[in-house]
Amino acid sequence: MTTDFNGKWKLVDSENFDAYLQAVGVNFMIRQLAKAATPRQEVQQNGDNFVIKSSGLQTKVTNFTIGEEFEDDSPIGKVKCTITWKDGKLHTSIEGPRGHMWSEREMREDGRCYLTMSAPNGTTAVRIFARDE
């Protein structure tokens, strides 16, 4: 069973975000800007095809299909990502310049979207998004 992530989302809370950014090698100035930003995302989901438009520090559009590897730009350089469904969550396996990372995007009972991210050293952060409609 897949989860419906369609819609507009805004960041409402973060947990351990600075430590995560530091663990993946983001410099001090970019970390300060990232922590101060209030990103918004618009997710268009059509079966296993996704388009995620993000705005915050920069505007970015990410297109992907479940199970297909793609290259993405990140604050630490180019990364290779593969996204799969795992227990109703979008699980992203990420290979980057600092090693293997992962993230999971899930809907919880409170109606919010939780994005959990893990750095190569195991440091995790959670970004919480609420519907913005």
Q: What is the pLDDT of residue 74?
A: 83
**Domains assigned to the chain:** 11-35+65-131 (2.40.128.20)
Please report which confidence band the pLDDT of residue 76 belongs to, taking 50, 70 and 90 as the band edges.
Answer: confident
pLDDT given for residue 79 in this prediction = 94
* Average pLDDT, rounded, for the chain: 93
How do residues 46-67 score in pLDDT, each as one tens digit? 999 999 999 987 899 999 999 9
pLDDT at 1: 55
pLDDT in tens, 21-45: 999 999 999 999 998 999 999 999 9
Non-local CB neighbours of 50 within 8 Å, separated by 6+ positions: 5, 43, 44, 62, 63, 64, 65, 66, 83
pLDDT of residue 75: 77
Q: What is the mean pLDDT of residues 113-131?
A: 97
The model scores a pTM over 0.95: no
Q: Which of 87, 49, 55 is nearest to 70 (CA)?
A: 49
